[in-house]
């Protein structure tokens, strides 16, 4: 796969429905509203974490959290389904997960503008990519396959 964009990535396009119940697809406005509300919750939480992080370090918002916020804004703009979980570790790395059990997609923001995509099926990793955010197109582009 070359020069894939987030919007045209098959797995991520499928991910818009992962973690949503059949009645919360994108076929009606109420489902769209529900997704929009969840994305807003995600962004509010990221802002809260960013504020806490900057207060702890007396620095501007941590670049990892800022990148995660950019990513959330992009996904919301593309009308992708909201993640089922957002995770923050003690290094302020943020991971978005869609799905549950052993079949999940995770996008970890590992550096400023850089994310790692991992797709599991039945507990096994079936796909890994490094994604680089292009600030011009506002999309994550595949940079390289993970070893």
The binding site for other proteins (CB under 8 A) comprises 19, 38-39, 41-42, 45, 49, 56, 82-91, 93, 95, 97, 100-102, 104, 106, 108, 118, 120, 123-125, 128, 146-147
**What is the nearest approach in angstroms of other proteins to the Cβ of residue 37?**
8
Indicate the residue among 57 and 137 with the shorter CB distance to other proteins.
57
Number of helical H runs and strand E runs in the chain: 3, 6
* Residue whose CB is less far from other proteins, 69 or 82: 82
Contact 117, 104 (CB under 8 A): no
Q: Copy the structure tokens of residue 8.
A: 């045209």
Q: 6 with 96: CB under 8 angstroms? A: no
Considering the complex, state which of residue 89 and residue 112 has its C-beta at the smaller distance from other proteins: 89
Tokens encoding 125: 């990793």
Q: Where are any strands of DSSP class E within the chain?
A: 85-88, 94-100, 103-111, 114-121, 124-134, 139-145
The DSSP letter of residue 60 is: S
Closest distance between other proteins and the C-beta of residue 64, in Å?
12
CB of 45 to other proteins, least distance (A): 5
> Is the CB of 101 or the CB of 135 nearer to other proteins?
101
């Amino acid at each position: 796969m070359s020069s894939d964009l987030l919007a045209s990535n098959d797995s991520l396009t499928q991910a818009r429905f992962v973690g949503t119940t059949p009645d919360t697809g994108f076929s009606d406005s109420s489902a769209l509203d529900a997704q929009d509300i969840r994305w807003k919750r995600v962004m509010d939480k990221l802002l809260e974490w960013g504020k806490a992080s900057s207060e702890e370090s007396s620095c501007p918002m941590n670049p990892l959290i800022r990148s995660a916020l950019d990513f959330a804004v992009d996904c919301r703009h593309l009308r992708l389904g909201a993640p089922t979980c957002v995770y923050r570790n003690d290094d302020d790395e943020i991971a978005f997960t869609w799905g549950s059990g052993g079949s999940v997609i995770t996008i970890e923001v590992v550096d400023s503008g850089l994310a790692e995509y991992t797709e599991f099926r039945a507990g096994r990793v079936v796909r890994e990519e490094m994604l680089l955010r292009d600030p011009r197109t506002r999309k994550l582009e595949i940079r390289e396959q993970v070893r």
